[in-house]
Structure 1
Amino acid sequence: MEDHHIRLTSSEVGGLWANYIADTMFVCVYKYYLAKAEDEEIKKVLMHALDLAQQHVRVVKKIFKEEGHAIPLGFTENDVNVNAPRLFSDEFFLFYTKHMTKGALVTYGAVLPHTFRKDIREHFMSCISSTMELFNETTDLLLTKGLEVRSPYIPYLQEVDMVERQHFLAGWWGKQRPLTAPEITHLYSNIQTNYMGTAVITGFAQVTNLKEIRDYFRRGKEIAMKQIKVFGEYLHENNLPVPITWDPLVQDITESPFSDKLMLYQISMMTAAGMGNYGTAISASPRRDIGADYVWLQGEVGLYAEDGLNLLIKHAWMERPPHAADREKIMKEKKR
């Protein structure tokens, strides 16, 4: 049964709105990447990513028009300069795409359970399916080119072993048990994510013309490097490898391909994703010392994220998300 006549719920409106803002940004980013990429195989992946972002924008715009909902401004051709010099290498474009698809799958997966109308459910299911295809395509190419960074190997279990002592949860003092596979997964992944952030921030700090934003980016890199050190120590203690930085994939240029608005939004989006990653990691890390570190570091990232939002607001770059009616304001205006 068709249910287009049913109004969109708050979760549906919010999900579509965020989808539109993010994908208009990705349209700008991938137009620039395609203008600079030289590797034909990587170009195919970037074209696929651009096509998906453009499809998502068209679908959301159509839904909002039919509903009589304002179309967000998002990001436009004014936020990208495809003629600017190359800021990142082809290999970086591929790593970036892999990380953005990982984040998109988490975001779409979180939105889908809160959608009700059939067309909205189908849209986000399509987003998940198409993003999975892009994720696989990107991963296959990274593996083919010998660029993919695999998580550490650990021994296979030879028998079932039940946890019998509460020392399994202990932390801080005395001899600690070896890291579990989920703990390793999140530590390793969060190091990779932070390294991606440092590479993006390094490039953005080079090209922004606003000192306060440059300082904000540099502060973000310092935070990320400190957190990488914390996570890396856990892996070192267990004789496990630590991922390497991707900063060398950033070119030495100063002309910006993106608006300050776009760059600041990109970092804010990545920071928010990082906070979500830490939350997931806490639930998968029984050792108290690891969980405590995630809580501490998540708070630090939260304060950094708040400062980023304040900068977006200060420069009038932050669109107000869909929100509940301000009944008190309405009643005051009615009394006038």
Structure 2
Amino acid sequence: MENNQKRIKLTSAELSYLWNTYLADSMSVCVFKYFLQHIEDVEIKTLLSHALDLSQQHLEIIRGIFTHEEIQVPEGFTEKDVHLNAKRLFSDVFYLKYLKHMSNGGLSVNGRILQHIYREDIRSFYSKCLTSSIELYNEVTQTLLEKGLDSRPPTIPYPKEIEYIHKQSFIWEALGKREALTGEEVNQLHFNIQTNHLGSALGKAFSQVTTSNKARNYFLRGSDIALKHVKVFSDYLQYNSLPIPMSFTHEVTDSDEAPFSDKLMMYHFGIMMYSGITNYGAAISASRRSDLVVDYSRLNAETLKFAEDGVNIMIENEWMEQPPLAIARKE
């Protein structure tokens, strides 16, 4: 049965997801190899080594599938995109927080991908990717908690009785503002503050080491946008007397020696932007307050425009590989 499955051509979804996964994992291999050059904490080093091993396994499997199907393997990112002897740019704490967000992204992306996969061997691959993302996420979260470095979402009162909503003002604040946030709204605000803190920290770090003025301005602009979004989300929590996750930009050193190529840093920043767009979409669906929906929507539009500007910089410098395309019939 497996051999019969492998004779079935990959669907557009399967081909595209494998192609994108290859690029992302080839980037991760470069990033993790550099991180491992500057690591002191033994527990964090073990987690980084585990993450590196998973990414390398994924690359090997996808190369095998593409070779069997006679598909051109993308270049992705290689040894020329990482400078292992560059000075330390991040602290051990940053590495751990980075792993938390990357494994979180793996949960989201692999779960979404699986919904569109039909061929048995590809389903098996992404099922294993999801399982390994769950394992890594749990290991990283437990380590963060044990080290007192994770920021849990705030607690809210337990319901004591059944209540129904009687006024439309639960949604439309103009008819009578609902001050209290739902648990889902609190969680989404907390989560998106944390992800924007990571984006701001990476933007600051990459701006210090890039050799491209356009890329430097782009990273700085991205860092400023992330902090602006943090302010918007923090105001909601602060108004409700709820704690706000702290920034970790201070976990970036003052090094100006580039550990990665400009191509890799621009790609990395780009996938973070599109991850943020997905997160805001999820936040919109989880929000019942109209003011929250309006804020997430306008910030999402700003992120989309910013991501487009990044794509233009990559195209201008020939840093963007062309993904698999359908046939242009009119041409």
- What is residue 17 of structure 2 aligned with on the other side? 15
**Does 1:247 find its partner at 2:224?**
no
Query: RMSD between aligned alpha carbons?
Result: 0.9
Q: Counterpart of 1:218 in structure 2: which amino acid?
A: L
Please say if residues 169 and 177 of structure 2, whose CA atoms lie closer than 8 Å, have aligned partners that are also in contact. no
Shift of residue 172 of structure 1? Answer: 5.3
Q: Following superposition, which runs of at least 4 residues in structure 1 exceed 3 angstroms of deviation?
A: 172-175
**Does 1:214 find its partner at 2:216?**
yes
Alpha-carbon displacement from aligned partner over 1:191-227 (angstroms, at most 9, x marks no partner): 0000010111111000001111100111111111111
Q: Counterpart of 2:311 in structure 1: which amino acid?
A: L
Structure 1 segment 222-233 matched on structure 2, within 5 A: 222-233=224-235
Structure 1 segment 128-147 matched on structure 2, within 5 A: 128-147=130-149
**Does 1:121 find its partner at 2:123?**
yes
| Structure-1-length-normalised TM-score | 0.96
Alpha-carbon displacement from aligned partner over 1:277-312 (angstroms, at most 9, x marks no partner): 000100100100000000000000000000000011
**Does 1:101 find its partner at 2:108?**
no
Q: Counterpart of 2:234 in structure 1: which amino acid?
A: G
- What is residue 200 of structure 2 aligned with on the other side? 198
Shift of residue 19 of structure 1? Answer: 0.5
Number of residue pairs the alignment of both structures matches: 329
SS class of match (1:125): helix
**Does 1:292 find its partner at 2:298?**
no
Task: State which of 239, 242, 247 in structure 2 corresponds to 1:237.
Answer: 239
- What is residue 332 of structure 1 aligned with on the other side? none
Shift of residue 173 of structure 1? Answer: 6.8
Please say if residues 172 and 289 of structure 1, whose CA atoms lie closer than 8 Å, have aligned partners that are also in contact. no
Identity among equivalent positions (%) equals 48
What CA distance in whole angstroms lies between the structure 2 residues aligned with 1:176 and 1:160? 18
Structure 1: unaligned runs, 5 residues or longer: 330-336
Shift of residue 45 of structure 1? Answer: 0.3
Q: Counterpart of 1:194 in structure 2: which amino acid?
A: N
What CA distance in whole angstroms lies between the structure 2 residues aligned with 1:214 and 1:237? 35
**Does 1:86 find its partner at 2:123?**
no
Alpha-carbon displacement from aligned partner over 1:84-129 (angstroms, at most 9, x marks no partner): 0000000100000000111111111111111101000000000000
- What is residue 308 of structure 1 aligned with on the other side? 310
What CA distance in whole angstroms lies between the structure 1 residues aligned with 2:309 and 2:255? 26
Please say if residues 171 and 290 of structure 1, whose CA atoms lie closer than 8 Å, have aligned partners that are also in contact. no
Please say if residues 237 and 244 of structure 2, whose CA atoms lie closer than 8 Å, have aligned partners that are also in contact. yes
Structure 1 segment 53-72 matched on structure 2, within 5 A: 53-72=55-74
**Does 1:265 find its partner at 2:291?**
no
Most deviating of 169-178 and 86-95: 169-178
What CA distance in whole angstroms lies between the structure 2 residues aligned with 1:286 and 1:32? 43
- What is residue 333 of structure 1 aligned with on the other side? none
What CA distance in whole angstroms lies between the structure 2 residues aligned with 1:147 and 1:122? 34
Shift of residue 159 of structure 1? Answer: 1.4
